[in-house]
Amino acid sequence: MLILVAVTVTIAMDGGIFTKAKQGATETQLKADEEDLTAAIASAYDGVTGTIDYTELKTTLEGKGWTVGEKDSATDPWTCTCTSKKGNTFTVTGKGKIKVAEENKEGTSEKTVEDDLSLTTSYVGYYADTDGDLTNGPEGVIFVDLMKGANGDQATVNGKWNDVLDSTYSYTTITESKAYSVTTENYTGINAKFGEKPIISVKTGSIGNDRFYVMALENVDSNYHYWYKNAYENMSDYATATSEDFGKGRENTYAMINKWNNSSYGAQTTTGNNADMWGIIQNQTKYPVTTNGTTGWFVPSRAEWSAFAYAFNIEGGYDEVVGSHMQDIYEYDEDLGEDVWVGEEEVEDTEWINGNSADLGLSCDYWSSSQSGTGLVYNADFENGVVHYYGVVGGFDYVRLATTF
């Protein structure tokens, strides 16, 4: 699969930061026009939708003497042509990609960023280098590959972990993404709990949709935490404040951080080892939490935890029968006023067998970012192999973050 990057310039958009990846234009005027076009696209970029505001782009460029053609589609994805005062023509997409028209390319070299990964192979279980720095190893493990199963078309993927009602999930695949490469064939470091697998990184100069959902390889710290201790029975807006759905964890996290910072559900618990998690996660450096609801690490939603658990076939613990013994049976005798022996029965002897979550470096249970009631929140209970709701008062869980890349 080939993912085009601008012939001589591409902009990457991430939380309002725009960078230019120049690929080698040689004509001075062409470069100047590209600079103007890049600035106009940056100005017209909508950080919420991740798309370009066509009307704003058109107004900005025409104010500089450019000619802007009509969009080829009323909905995304769309493209339009933009021609400078000097006659250089470019094609611009609704996602902000720029391509130099063929007639302008003399003296330039067209380059692409080629994706090393396959559309038909799932990369679930591979490790993710989300920050481009492998000094301390990868940050997470891939648990959903949004391209897998697409085969050129969008498709809906449904699943259920351990056949439990609250452990369902559903997501839609994508047909275009950033370009990636395998940067390390086999990761064998201290956090390689998911097996010796390669590490994947985003290729330099590539922009587009995030292909992967990634779970951090470590908890935010070693402590149990309250979700939001004083929120009990105060979350009257629980049905709309957060969502259970796949793809909503980041929005949930952003919403709850704002609520916690404003003490919307009650006073904050900020001291002690079990302080509210919404304060704790804002102090992360290795896993910087979302500050805009569209980028950054986040507390997974109910469905995202379910998809993670399903991806790695996480099994809860269970009682295994290891033998049996005879047990006396007594019944109360009213005449005697005491229990009397009436016989015996065979009783099974069982032993608790732990699931496989500890082998994967996971704790017994984790908070989700999804509310379930005025005082209830969903959690991932790996000890018992279920996702269910749990009270925010008296309830302590571990915290682990996820992201996309």
Most confident of 15-19, 112-116, 218-222: 218-222
Band of pLDDT at residue 13, cut at 50, 70 and 90 = very low
- Strand ordering across the sheet containing 376-381: 365-371, 376-381, 386-391
Q: d(Cα 58, Cα 40) in Å, to the nearest integer?
A: 9
Classify 255 as helix, strand or coil: helix
Classify 46 as helix, strand or coil: strand
Region 83-100 average pLDDT:
84
CB-based contact 396:273 (threshold 8 Å): no
Place of tokens 């008296």: 394
pLDDT of residue 124: 94
Which tokens hold the place of 343? 């016989």
Which tokens hold the place of 254? 């952003």
Average pLDDT of every residue of the chain:
83
Region 89-107 average pLDDT:
73
- In single-letter form, the type of residue at position 118 comes to S
Tens-digit pLDDT profile for residues 364-389: 899 999 999 999 999 999 888 888 87
Region 210-215 average pLDDT:
96
pLDDT of residue 302: 96
Region 217-241 average pLDDT:
95
pLDDT of residue 18: 39
Closest among 20, 23, 22, 24 to 11, alpha carbons compared: 20
Residue 39 has pLDDT above 50, yes or no: yes
Band of pLDDT at residue 356, cut at 50, 70 and 90 = confident
Q: Tell me 358's DSSP state.
A: G
Q: How many CB atoms lie within 10 A of CB 160?
A: 15
Q: d(Cα 139, Cα 66) in Å, to the nearest integer?
A: 45
Band of pLDDT at residue 303, cut at 50, 70 and 90 = very high
Q: How many CB atoms lie within 10 A of CB 113?
A: 23
Share of the chain above pLDDT 70, in %: 84
Q: Tell me 286's DSSP state.
A: S
Q: d(Cα 105, Cα 228) in Å, to the nearest integer?
A: 58
Residue 400 has pLDDT above 70, yes or no: yes
Burial 214-223 (b: 16+ CB within 10 A, else e): bbbbbbbeee
Beta strands in 224-279 (DSSP E): none
Which tokens hold the place of 191? 């956090």
Residue 401 has pLDDT above 50, yes or no: yes
- In single-letter form, the type of residue at position 41 comes to I
Place of tokens 């470590």: 218
pLDDT of residue 91: 87
Tens-digit pLDDT profile for residues 250-278: 999 999 999 999 999 999 999 999 999 99
- In single-letter form, the type of residue at position 360 comes to L
Share of the chain above pLDDT 90, in %: 43
Instruction: Give the C-alpha distances (Å, rounded to integers) separating 143 from 123, 310, 368, 404.
Output: 8, 9, 16, 10
β-pair type (127-129, 197-202)? parallel
Tens-digit pLDDT profile for residues 144-175: 999 875 444 568 899 999 887 789 999 999 88
Q: d(Cα 334, Cα 256) in Å, to the nearest integer?
A: 60
Handedness of CA 206, 130, 360, 315 (dihedral sign): negative
Band of pLDDT at residue 320, cut at 50, 70 and 90 = low
CA dihedral of 257, 258, 261, 264, whole degrees rounded to 10: -110
pLDDT of residue 11: 44
Classify 333 as helix, strand or coil: strand
Closest among 288, 118, 111 to 216, alpha carbons compared: 288
